[in-house]
Structure 1
Amino acid sequence: MSKRRIKKVAIIGSGIMGSGIACHFANIGVDVLLLDIVPRELTDAEKAKGLTLEDKAVRNRIVNDSLTASLKSKPSPIYHPSFASRITTGNLEDDIAKVKDVDWIMEVVVERLDIKKQVFEKLEKYRTPGTLITSNTSGIPIHFMSEGRSEDFQKHFCGTHFFNPARYLKLFEIIPGPKTSQEVLDFLKIYGEKFLGKTSVIAKDTPAFIGNRIGIFGIQSLFHQVKEMDLTVEEVDKLTGPVIGRPKSATFRTVDVVGLDTLVHVANGIYENCPEDEAHELFKLPDFINTMMENKWLGSKTGQGFYKKEGKDIRTLDLNTLEYRDRKSAKFATLELTKTVDKVVDRFPILISGKDKAGEFYRKNFAAMFAYVSNRIPEITDELYKIDDAMKAGFGWEHGPFQIWDAVGVEKGIELIKAEGLEPAAWVNEMLESGNKSFYTVKEGSTFFYDIPSKKQEKVPGQDAFIILDNIRKSKEVYKNSGVVVEDLGDGILNVEFQSKMNTIGGDVLSGLNKAIDIAEKDFAGLVVGNQAANFSVGANIGMIFMMAAEQEYDELNAAIKYFQDSMMRMRYSAIPTIAAPHGMALGGGCELSMHADKVVAAAETYMGLVEFGVGVIPGGGGSKEMALRAQDLFRKGDVELNTLQEYFLTIAMAKVSTSAYEAFDLGVLQKGKDIIVVNKDRQLAMAKAHAKLMADAGYTQPIKRTDIKVLGRQALGMFMVGTDAMEDSNYISAHDQKIANKLAYVMAGGDLSEPTLVSEQYLLDLEREAFLSLATERKTLERIQHMLKTGKPLRN
């Protein structure tokens, strides 16, 4: 079997989805040809310029406008603005012959079978045999599309369904056609996971495949439940959001973002094409949805849906009167009971036993979902874990339906189903009779699922490329305190996993980190700092800093900052290689910790930065020192050294945060040639472990502390002070902002020295700590910290 490589792809269709997919291929370094149709008439602007339909600018207008709009959208579809240069645009008349040179052609045109078939007919004339050709349809059966095409076309053709936005949602459904070769399916599954960073799921060719079939069922069943239980839009979004491990946008806000018309299109498709579905009637749209469609209240794209922005206020649709009203807050006693339960999976048994409307809602909701998913096997897939994978990756659920069912207990789930007058599939009862009490089990660090035909637990395939901390935490624990768990990852590598709220770094986390370094130096070869929570770490525990500062315990505060700094220096100067594995938010102290590791293996979706200015201080865990050090390492002979230092100063002073790991290189918080990026977060820890082992095997030598850092002294300090003066004069920053900026300037300039001097890291750390402490005594800083603790937002005072 020859090795297939993807160097160039052609994306046919440049709408929201096509442009988004094009950007994601560009994200991973692939050359992209993006094609769309030629316009049939000129715009007024084109007429005014005297252009004709033959001009290239006109012929490529549709594709260029679509791509430009996509690149401007927020959140951005691209990891770094420069990556857009990997996309070449063209049109389906002048440029279609270029598809002969690509390795994969993907069709993303409008969801109409006749149009798709015309496109495939055109493409086949120019496609080189052996080239992959796929359709990103969300609902049209795959077997209809390849009818009448050649043998080679059909063998290399299947559905590859990305979810929108393609960069952020992880589900990648692969749907075989009647003649798709096994080699093509195997290749796409691995390519999706390894290169595109997705969860690849091979689905059957049934309407809406796996993700949308179950997801749309969930939303439709809610639409009907809202009326039946007389719930408001706010109540449903409160009940179906983060409390059950779903995105903040919950249900109705998500529909607004995706677009009601998109949802209705898929729901209608299921209603028409699944007459045998026992929940067939649920896919019928309730009256209020039909009215919203007629009124074009489709959500964000039309300016109103279930929510509507009026000025600064967001108003809500009353589902009974269909008029917009002020938002009402939603409160339930049952939800209050889960406030102290950190792990979402432990909340489900509490939620279904609630005595109020929320408890009733969860009993009905889960019962309907459990019954539905059990009855979709073997119709849409043979393996239950694929349904869970699809819901987690496509809809951002923390737990799939079968995992939730396991959490409440399989027998309890059956009881809920029967209470609603529904029936689970026969195989669920057979599973219990065969002695299997749950859908999943964990043994020897791997997840097993109940396989229906063999009636026994089989290992979920593909786990060997991953390290799943949930599976090994108990069996591989080496040390634990209230802030961290230290696990043995095998091959001589330890992992430190934070366990604090939002993974903030306080005394317990630091002592756990130091302990892990002690253990690793004595008995292991290397250390990874990584976790699989939503965020790597949002920074130092500012609540603790606030308490000490407010009670004027300055000696304790000084000791706490020094402990943080010493722990970071320990990361850098230990006898073993240290690897940081940041993902999600890596802010403040989380960023500082990463900057002090020997190497960073970052997930592509890492939002990293030194944000301490927002709470009225400067980075005090070595971050200010490190930025001064990194700036000086870039000083080159004949450079204007001040300019380099100023860039690094501004990164901190403006509290810049990268919108991807690639942007973190621009900010200097990641370093080119040293730190690396992994697109698939599931593979991140395995990759971090591999790098730790590689460094250890290559003969790691404990680094020598640096004493050669060139600081510019008064020359830099003067320039910074002039700048902050001007900004304060023009009201661009407040007097307190200026005070913080001047303290930072003092640290990064190395103090008020009369000439450039070589200093040690410790010298800079002492300056940094003094500056941090003096700012912590300021009333305005305490106001900022208090505001952040209360609201989660920075205060400008």
Structure 2
Amino acid sequence: MSKRRINKIAIIGSGIMGSGIACHFANIGVDVLLLDIVPRELTPKEEAMSLTLEDKVVRNRLVNDALIASIKSKPAPLYHPSFKNRITTGNLEDDIAKVADVDWIMEVVVERLDIKQQVFEKLEKYRTPGTLITSNTSGIPIKFMSEGRSEDFQKHFCGTHFFNPARYLKLFEIIPGPKTDPAVLDFLNEYGEKFLGKTSVVAKDTPAFIGNRIGIFSIMSLFHTVKDMDLTIEEVDKLTGPVIGRPKSATFRTVDVVGLDTLVHVANGIAENCPKDERHELFQLPDFINIMMDNKWLGSKTGQGFYKKVRKEDGSSDILSLDLSTLEYREKKRAKFATLELTKTIDKVVDRFKVLVKGKDKAGEFYRKSFASLFAYVSNRIPEISDNLYKIDDAMKAGFGWEHGPFQIWDAIGVEAGIDMMKAEGLEPNAWVTEMLASGSSSFYTVKDGATYAYDIPSKSQQKIPGQDSFIILDNIRKTSEVYKNSGVVVEDLGDGILNVEFQSKMNTIGGDVLAGLNKAIDIAEKDHAGLVVGNQAANFSVGANIGMIFMMAAEQEYDELNMAIKYFQDTMMRMRYSSIPTVAAPHGMTLGGGCELSMHSDKVVAAAETYIGLVEFGVGVIPGGGGSKEMALRAQDTFKKGDVELNTLQEYFLTIGMAKVATSAYEAFDLGILQKGKDIVVVNKDRQIATAKAYAKLIADAGYTQPVKRKDIKVLGKQALGMFLVGTDAMNASNYISEHDQKIANKLAYVMAGGDLSEPTFVSEQYLLDLEREAFLSLCTERKTLERIQHMLKTGKPLRN
């Protein structure tokens, strides 16, 4: 069988969803043809320019305007602005014949069956047989769409449902039609995981598929619970946010962002098309939703929904909340529950559920009611929407940003305890759940030999979840492969001679225990292993050094201890670079300050595409002190070319630190000089990251890794560069662009990156620059304004400009 490859895709429909999907295919290097309809009338501006409906610029207006709006939107749909060059636009009249040359045609037009069928009829005239053709519908049955199409069309046709925004939400639902070739489903399943970086889930052709069926049920169920329990919207958002591993926007803020009309559209679709659903009454809209729809209070797009932003007289803004009983906006009220206080010391979300459902207050009652309702509902959806329980969990985690799916939460509470909660609410689980308990399986999931197994209903046994072989799941191997552990890290043996260091501190901050663990891991690897990966599977790689520890030492004026602590950090980073084994960092999510420095000192970086990396120390009144300032000076000199204005190159690297620039994707980090072209690589699927990092560590080791020689050949420019920097910071301060304290920090950084006030360009060692860096860092820690900045960051999480 010939190997199918996707080099070019045509996307039909350039609305928010179509443009977003086009951008994500461009992100992964695919050539995109984006087509939309031709406008039927001219705009006043076009009339003024004497254009006609025949002009190309007019004919492509809709598609071009939509794509420009998408690219400008926040969060950005592209990993890098230059990737927009991979998208070509056109219209469905002049350019439809071009679909003959693509490998995949995806329809993303308005959610109306008649329009979709017309589009498919047109496309079939030009489509090359064997080309994939899919629809990104969120609810229209796939079986109706391909009616009347040719055998080849139907064989290569199915639904491929992305969630908005396509770059950030990981769910990729694949929905077969009646005649879809199984090989097409297998291809799309693998392509979604491997190339698009998604969680691929093959769903059944049922209304709203998997993600929206459960997600919308969950929200609609909450709408009714809110009224029954007389809860405020702030209380519900407090109860359904990060405390249970859900996004910060929780429930009502999420609905505002997505748009109430979108939610109502899907809920109505389920109500109409699922008359036999045992919770059918929950999909009927409560009165307050109907009134909000009539008032056009749809959320962010109409300026008000459950929350409303208002401008105050002094120019500042305030966010008001909707009172669901009076339907009037009022000041936000703080929500507090005793049960939530009990979970403050429980770091792992999965360990909180048992505590939450035992709560004696309104919060405990809310969790018992809502989880009982959710558990009963998902148990009844098998085999209706999926044959496998793990697919329901995967869909909720990837499509709605839940840290744990319904069956994982049920496992955490205990299967029998979950059934007791249902019975208290007058609900029953589906019969297969009691059969599972009777068969000797006491949980939905088990872990064996580093792999996850899930209960399989037909065979009444635990079966290995397919597709795990290309992943390494640290949670699954930690117990059996632990080599060393302290309070800050766990070192695991990944096999094939490669170790992994996993940070375990709060937000993966780097303090003394983490540094000790890193050094220990390098010791063990140098003695008995071939290479070392530094990686974890938490939300963020590392938010940097433990600034609380730095603040305590500086406030108590323990400068000798602080000097030792900074030197220990620097020495550990240098060990990452100069050990006798290859080191590979696997950053993802927030990789700030010390986390960035650690990545920059590894032999190779295998970064997740979604890596937000930068040296942000200026925000707390210091310069990078773990080798970051030294490294930027070194990298600037390594990029000096003959005939370059060396000062300009150095200035760029200086500004990256001075403006605390953070890359919004791994691809942007190459522009900042934080990742290096030709050395570091990017993986789109974060789940594959540790496995990929391990493979590279092994590859480098097997190729005959030699311990690098410490550098003594770094060209610094001395007074020439220092003078330029000082003039620049002076001008910025004079024009009120930076404060006096900002200027002081910038001047200290300038001194380090210039190599001090040497009278002429000189070659120096890394250690020379590290000593300058440490001295500057220490002197800034003696400044009251720096301590104020650190304290403010610790209290509020936001930088202070003083």
TM-score tier by shorter-chain length is over 0.9
Measured in 1, the distance between the counterparts of 2:146 and 2:372 equals 39
Alignment partner, residue 464 of structure 2:
459
State the partner residue of 1:143: 143
Tell me the CA shift for residue 138 of structure 1: 0.2
Q: Specify the alignment match of 2:272 in structure 1.
A: 272
Match among 433, 437, 459 for residue 432 of structure 1: 437
Partner of 1:729: 734
Match of 2:560 in 1: 555
Q: Which residue of 1 aligns with 2:6?
A: 6
Aligned 1:292-331 pairs, distance under 5 A: 292-311=292-311, 312-331=317-336
- After superposition, what is the alpha-carbon deviation per residue over 1:344-373, rounded to whole angstroms, capped at 9, x for unaligned? 000000000000000000000000000000
Report the 3-state secondary structure (helix = DSSP H, G, I; strand = E; otherwise coil) of the residue aligned with 1:464.
coil
Residue from 354, 363, 369 that aligns with 1:358: 363
Q: C-alpha separation between the residues in 2 aligned to 1:297 and 1:4?
A: 47
- 1:511 is aligned to 2:491: no
1:147-546 pair list within 5 angstroms: 147-311=147-311, 312-546=317-551
SS in 2 for 1:448: strand
Determine the C-alpha separation between the residues in 1 that align with 2:50 and 2:566: 67
- Indicate the SS of the match to 1:475: helix
Distance (Å, rounded) in 2 between the aligned partners of 1:2 and 1:297: 53
* CA distances 1:61-115 after superposition (whole Å, capped 9, x unpaired): 1000100000000000000000001000000000000000000000000000000
Amino acid at match of 1:766: D
Cα separation, 2, equivalents of 1:371 and 1:556? 57
Cα shift at 1:420: 0.5
Deviation at 1:26, TM superposition (A): 0.2
Could you say which residue in structure 2 is the equivalent of 1:712? 717
Counterpart check, 1:20 vs 2:20: yes
Structure 1 Cα separation of the partners of residues 106 and 421 of structure 2: 44
Partner letter of residue 628 of structure 2? G
Cα offset, 1:568, TM superposition: 0.1
Letter in 1 for 2:167: R
Tell me the SS of whatever aligns to 1:317.
Answer: strand
Q: Secondary structure at the match of 2:579?
A: coil
Alpha-carbon distance between aligned partners in 2 of 1:259 and 1:699, rounded to the nearest angstrom: 56
Q: Deviation per CA, 1:731-763: give whole Å up to 9, x if none.
A: 000000000000000000000000000000000
Q: C-alpha displacement at 1:277, in angstroms? A: 0.4
Separation in structure 1 between the aligned mates of residue 539 and residue 792 of structure 2, nearest angstrom? 24
Partner of residue 94, structure 2: 94
Q: Which amino acid aligns with 1:633?
A: D
Give the alignment's TM-score, normalised by structure 2.
Answer: 0.99
Q: Which amino acid aligns with 1:102?
A: V
Cα distance, 1:540 vs structure 2: 0.1
* Residues 657-676 of structure 1 aligned to structure 2 (within 5 Å): 657-676=662-681
Q: In 2, Cα distance between the equivalents of 1:334 and 1:46?
A: 61
* Cα offsets for 1:637-673 (capped at 9, x unmatched): 1100000000000000000000000000001100000
Q: Which whole-Å CA distance do the structure 2 matches of 1:305 and 1:794 have between them?
A: 30
- Alignment pair present for 1:773 and 2:774: no
The one-letter amino acid of 2:149's match is R
Counterpart Cα distance in 2 of 1:573 and 1:689: 19
Q: Which runs of 5+ in 1 are unaligned?
A: none
**Could you tell me which amino acid in structure 2 is paired with residue 670 of structure 1?**
L
Work out the CA distance in 1 between the residues paired with 2:646 and 2:703.
35
Q: Distance in 2 between matches of 1:317 and 1:657?
A: 36
> Which one-letter code corresponds to 1:638 in the other structure?
G
Matching residue within 614, 622, 626 for 2:619:
614
Show the counterpart of 1:585.
Answer: 590
Which residue in 2 is equivalent to 1:53? 53
Is residue 2:614 matched to residue 1:626? no
Provide the residue aligned with 2:314 in structure 1: none
Secondary structure at the aligned position of 2:741 is classed as: helix
Deviations, residues 264-311 of structure 1 (Å, cap 9, x unaligned): 000000000001100011000001001111111111111111111102
Q: Distance in 2 between matches of 1:200 and 1:232?
A: 36
State how far apart, in whole Å, the 2-side matches of 1:66 and 1:318 are: 36
CA distance in 1, matches of 2:795, 2:305: 31
Give SS of 2:165's match. coil
Alignment-mate amino acid for residue 286 of structure 1: P
Query: What is the letter of the counterpart of residue 164 of structure 1?
Result: N
Show CA shifts across 1:363-408 (max 9, x none).
Answer: 0000000000000000000000000000000000000000000000
1:166, CA displacement in angstroms?
Answer: 0.2
Query: Matches of 2:252 and 2:87 in 1, distance apart?
Result: 34
Matched residue type, 2:271 = Y
SS at match of 2:374: helix
- Equivalent-residue separation in structure 1 for 2:347 and 2:148 (angstroms): 55
Name the SS of the counterpart of 2:175 in structure 1.
Answer: strand
Q: Does 1:576 align with 2:574?
A: no
Instruction: Give how far 1:493 is off.
Output: 0.3
In the alignment, does 2:734 pair up with 1:699? no
**1:226 Cα deviation from its structure 2 partner:** 0.4
Query: Superposition RMSD on alpha carbons, in Å?
Result: 0.4
Report how far residue 481 of structure 1 moved.
Answer: 0.1
Kindly provide the amino acid, as one letter, of the partner of residue 425 in structure 1: N
The aligned amino acid for 2:109 is: V
CA distance in structure 2 between the aligned counterparts of 1:557 and 1:283, rounded to whole angstroms: 60
Residue identity in the other structure for 1:265 = H
Cα distance in 1 for partners of 2:421, 2:95 equals: 58
> What is the deviation of 1:518?
0.1
Measured in 1, the distance between the counterparts of 2:481 and 2:333 equals 47
Q: Which amino acid aligns with 1:459?
A: K
- What is the Cα deviation at residue 615 of structure 1? 0.2
In the alignment, what sits opposite 1:786? Answer: 791
One-letter identity of the residue aligned with 1:27: N
SS at 2:160 equivalent = strand
Which stretches in structure 2 are left out of the alignment for 5+ residues?
312-316
The equivalent of 1:108 in structure 2 is: 108
Matches within 5 A, 1:40-79: 40-79=40-79
- In structure 2, what residue type is equivalent to 1:32? V
Q: How many Å separate the matches in 1 of 2:90 and 2:536? A: 43
Q: Distance in 1 between matches of 2:638 and 2:485?
A: 38
TM-score w.r.t. the length of structure 1 is: 1.00
Q: CA deviation at 1:443?
A: 0.8
> Structure 1 stretches (4+) deviating beyond 2 angstroms?
none
Q: How does 1:21-40 map to 2 (within 5 A)?
A: 21-40=21-40
Q: CA deviation at 1:681?
A: 0.2
Rounded Cα–Cα distance in structure 1 between residues aligned with 2:36 and 2:320? 38
Deviations 1:13-61 (A, max 9, x none): 0000000000000000000000000000111111111111111111111
The alignment of Structure 1 onto Structure 2 pairs a total of residues equal to 797
Q: Distance in 1 between matches of 2:39 and 2:330?
A: 42
CA distance in 1, matches of 2:63, 2:292: 31
